[in-house]
Chains A and B, each alone.
Chain A
Amino acid sequence: MKKVITDYLDETSNKYPRKTCILENKDNKISFHAFANESKRIACYINKYNLFNKPIAIFIDKSIDTLKAMFGVLYSGNFYTVFDTASPKNRLDLVYNTLKPTLIITNNKCIEKLKSYNFDAQIINIDLIDNKIDNKVIKGINQKMVGTNPAYVLFTSGSTGVPKGSVITHKSVIAYIKWFIECFSIDNTTIFGNQSPFYFSMSVSDIYSTMFTGATFCIIPKINFTFTMNLVKYLNEFKINTIYWVPSALSIVANLNTFDYAKPKYLKKVLFAGEVMPTPTLNKWRKHLPNVLYGNLFGPTETTDICTYYIVNRKFKNNESLPIGWPCNNCDILIVDEEGKECEAGSPGELYVRGDFVGSGYYNNPEKTNDAFVQNPINKSYPEIVYKTGDLGKINKYGEIEYLGRKDFQIKHMGYRIELGEIEANITALEGITTCACIYDENNKLIVLFYESSKLSVDDVIKYADQKLVKYMRPNKVIKVSKMPFNANGKIDRVKLKKDYLEMEG
């Protein structure tokens, strides 16, 4: 009986033991058999610490090692959080203090940096462990597991400056991956070109569907997304046929007119999610690669990765936006109005998600959990928890769901979900800042920070932001104002700020 994720990896590794499971480049790859064994070896080592159903952090740069550690944790019966090794210490501290892991897994390459952070958890360096696999131990752990045990906790930014950790169970991952595999016909001929970081929910799709089907997972070196000729070369060298990237990554390729000079020869499926896809980008891709399947996927981390999808099946003008489509199989969407009633077709409301993809809440955060994981508003008869996305949508004339934006100030920038409030909370912490506010310039995809201060220069603020904030959260523009505008309620008038900014930008 298959009940947890590792049962699927076991099955795949028995079926395709020698097939390449993960590849970084032509000299660095690993087969399914070797990958499953390495993961089990790590699991047996973890087991010496007598931990079960406990959080374990992973501090390793994106690589085969990170994946071994992730599956090592899963085989050990615990759950993981992948730390962003490039994240500033203060943000990692917030994640660490919420997660409170007793163990952190690292490797030779990252151990010095990890040690400099002085976390009090014990450290396992996977390059130094030399134990053997004890299959009795692995089997014993599996016997104890239930599908509602968490597989991982994935952190996204929170409005008070404290990141929220979505708890995702084995059951949710299995339900989600079954849909993903069926919907996009993923099988042992699929070769993924992975872009998204492992601490980001999109990576769940290509990682786990590889382990479920015997596909091959290629980790594309990050620098190729800056120098796109090398990117196309990489896609062709490894015969990559399926990609699932953030739209920004697809935009870079399109905006540099890469396809005028070189084309990915093997690409069959182009899927995207994480932020709104700019239609001009999609149209450029479609012009050069007309026979490829394009899929617009939509969903928050709290629903494992995705809850609706749209396979592009008609033409879109550059000024038309793509629908987010239909609920995934085994997932349901409710569009709910302010009074908690289901909206009629065509009228806008908040999107609520039902079904097995829905996560279990936020780790060590009952307050935020209760705000977002709520009783189904249209079911008064028995307990049923649904996820309130905070996203607005409506049904269009094709019967598809159209995305209308965030209900609050949360933005999507470079594929990451960011609360502008978290950036503000960090900048406000700088001594000398009187007040500050962020807006998002959607047209140019810029985070714009306004601040008021009698002594700090723009450079001071930029330097501080570079130290304190993870890269994708840093303001792209910093503007000093002599007086911050306030509205009648005594709150910073963001509407006016934005209006003034847009007028200034012309």
Chain B
Amino acid sequence: MKEIIEVLNEVKEGIDYANEKHLVSDGLITSFDLVMLISLLNEKFDIEITVVDVIPENFESVETIEALVNKLK
């Protein structure tokens, strides 16, 4: 969880990631942020997020991102 928040802060600072539950639907993460986020997650957790997993539901909150990372590990 903490590691995911660190990655998110690297992409974009100034968002309350621990509590935010609608990162995508509220437009807090843009497509440009998403590209960077995916490449950082891939690097840090040694996974490969393919575009098939790039759906809004997987990126709404720290929890959903964590679930995605765990699934791919």
Chain A contacts to B: CB under 8 angstroms: 223, 225-230, 248, 251-252, 255-258, 260-261, 414, 445, 458-459, 462-463, 466, 471, 476, 478
How many chain-B residues does the 8 Å CB contact rule pick out?
Answer: 18
Separation in Å of the A153 CB from the closest CB of chain B?
A: 28
* Additional pairs, 4, CB under 8 Å, beyond known A256-B35, A462-B14: A226-B29, A459-B13, A463-B14, A466-B14
Q: Which B-chain residue is minimally distant from A248 (CB atoms)?
A: B32
Query: Is the pair B51, A256 in contact by a Cβ cutoff of 8 Å?
Result: yes
Q: Which A-chain residue is minimally distant from B36 (CB atoms)?
A: A444
Q: How far does the alpha carbon of A445 sit from the alpha carbon of B31 in the complex, in Å?
A: 14
Query: Is the pair B34, A257 in contact by a Cβ cutoff of 8 Å?
Result: no
Q: Which of chain B's residues 1-34 have a Cβ closer than 8 Å to chain A? A: 12-14, 24, 29-32, 34
Q: How far does the alpha carbon of A471 sit from the alpha carbon of B14 in the complex, in Å?
A: 14
A223-B56 CB under 8 A given contacts A255-B35, A459-B13, A462-B14:
yes
Chain B contacts to A: CB under 8 angstroms: 12-14, 24, 29-32, 34-35, 38-39, 50-52, 54-56
Q: Which B-chain residue is minimally distant from A229 (CB atoms)?
A: B51
Note all chain A residues with C-beta closer than 8 A to B50. 257, 260-261
A228-B13 CB under 8 A given contacts A255-B35, A256-B35, A256-B38:
no
Taking a contact as CB atoms closer than 8 A, the residue among A228, A251, A458 that contacts B54 in the complex is A228
Note all chain A residues with C-beta closer than 8 A to B32. 248, 252, 414, 445
- Max chain A Cβ within 10 angstroms of own Cβ: one of B13, B32, B34, B39: B32
Q: How far does the alpha carbon of A278 sit from the alpha carbon of B35 in the complex, in Å?
A: 15
Separation in Å of the A113 CB from the closest CB of chain B?
A: 15
Q: How far does the alpha carbon of A92 sit from the alpha carbon of B39 in the complex, in Å?
A: 35
Contacts between the two chains (Cβ within 8 Å), count: 51
Separation in Å of the B52 CB from the closest CB of chain A?
A: 6
Q: How far does the alpha carbon of A476 sit from the alpha carbon of B14 in the complex, in Å?
A: 11
Query: Is the pair B51, A228 in contact by a Cβ cutoff of 8 Å?
Result: yes
Separation in Å of the A280 CB from the closest CB of chain B?
A: 13
Query: Is the pair A225, B14 in contact by a Cβ cutoff of 8 Å?
Result: no
Q: Which A-chain residue is minimally distant from B35 (CB atoms)?
A: A255
A227-B56 CB under 8 A given contacts A252-B31, A257-B51, A260-B51:
yes
Query: Is the pair B51, A478 in contact by a Cβ cutoff of 8 Å?
Result: no
Q: How far does the alpha carbon of A252 sit from the alpha carbon of B39 in the complex, in Å?
A: 12
Query: Is the pair A462, B34 in contact by a Cβ cutoff of 8 Å?
Result: no
Separation in Å of the B20 CB from the closest CB of chain A?
A: 14
Secondary structure dominating the interface of A: helix
Query: Is the pair A226, B34 in contact by a Cβ cutoff of 8 Å?
Result: yes
Separation in Å of the B11 CB from the closest CB of chain A?
A: 9
Note all chain B residues with C-beta closer than 8 A to A463. 14
Q: How far does the alpha carbon of A445 sit from the alpha carbon of B52 in the complex, in Å?
A: 26
Q: How far does the alpha carbon of A320 sit from the alpha carbon of B67 in the complex, in Å?
A: 41
Separation in Å of the A193 CB from the closest CB of chain B?
A: 16
Q: Which A-chain residue is minimally distant from B38 (CB atoms)?
A: A256
Q: How far does the alpha carbon of A226 sit from the alpha carbon of B12 in the complex, in Å?
A: 16
Separation in Å of the B60 CB from the closest CB of chain A?
A: 12
Q: How far does the alpha carbon of A257 sit from the alpha carbon of B50 in the complex, in Å?
A: 8
Q: How far does the alpha carbon of A255 sit from the alpha carbon of B56 in the complex, in Å?
A: 17
Query: Is the pair B14, A459 in contact by a Cβ cutoff of 8 Å?
Result: yes
Q: Which A-chain residue is minimally distant from B34 (CB atoms)?
A: A226
Q: How far does the alpha carbon of A261 sit from the alpha carbon of B29 in the complex, in Å?
A: 24
A261-B51 CB under 8 A given contacts A256-B35, A458-B13:
yes
Q: How far does the alpha carbon of A414 sit from the alpha carbon of B55 in the complex, in Å?
A: 22
Query: Is the pair A462, B35 in contact by a Cβ cutoff of 8 Å?
Result: no
A227-B14 CB under 8 A given contacts A256-B35, A256-B38, A414-B32:
no
Separation in Å of the B56 CB from the closest CB of chain A?
A: 6
Q: Which B-chain residue is minimally distant from A471 (CB atoms)?
A: B30
Note all chain B residues with C-beta closer than 8 A to A228. 51, 54
Taking a contact as CB atoms closer than 8 A, the residue among A227, A256, A462 that contacts B13 in the complex is A462
Q: Which A-chain residue is minimally distant from B13 (CB atoms)?
A: A462
Q: How far does the alpha carbon of A260 sit from the alpha carbon of B52 in the complex, in Å?
A: 10
Q: Which A-chain residue is minimally distant from B11 (CB atoms)?
A: A476
Separation in Å of the B23 CB from the closest CB of chain A?
A: 11
Q: How far does the alpha carbon of A466 sit from the alpha carbon of B14 in the complex, in Å?
A: 10
Taking a contact as CB atoms closer than 8 A, the residue among A229, A252, A478 that contacts B52 in the complex is A229
Please list the 7 inter-chain residue pairs (A to B) with the smallest Cβ-Cβ separation, ordered nearest first: A462-B14, A226-B31, A256-B51, A258-B51, A225-B31, A252-B31, A255-B35
Q: How far does the alpha carbon of A252 sit from the alpha carbon of B38 in the complex, in Å?
A: 11
Query: Is the pair A226, B24 in contact by a Cβ cutoff of 8 Å?
Result: yes
Q: Which B-chain residue is minimally distant from A477 (CB atoms)?
A: B13
Q: How far does the alpha carbon of A368 sit from the alpha carbon of B56 in the complex, in Å?
A: 44
Query: Is the pair B52, A227 in contact by a Cβ cutoff of 8 Å?
Result: no
Note all chain B residues with C-beta closer than 8 A to A229. 51-52, 54-55
Q: Could you jot down 9 A-B contacts, CB within 8 Å? A: A225-B31, A226-B31, A227-B54, A227-B55, A227-B56, A229-B54, A229-B55, A252-B32, A256-B38
Q: How far does the alpha carbon of A251 sit from the alpha carbon of B52 in the complex, in Å?
A: 17
Separation in Å of the B63 CB from the closest CB of chain A?
A: 19
Q: How far does the alpha carbon of A342 sit from the alpha carbon of B65 in the complex, in Å?
A: 57
Separation in Å of the B31 CB from the closest CB of chain A?
A: 4
Separation in Å of the B69 CB from the closest CB of chain A?
A: 17
Query: Is the pair B30, A256 in contact by a Cβ cutoff of 8 Å?
Result: no
Note all chain A residues with C-beta closer than 8 A to B12. 476
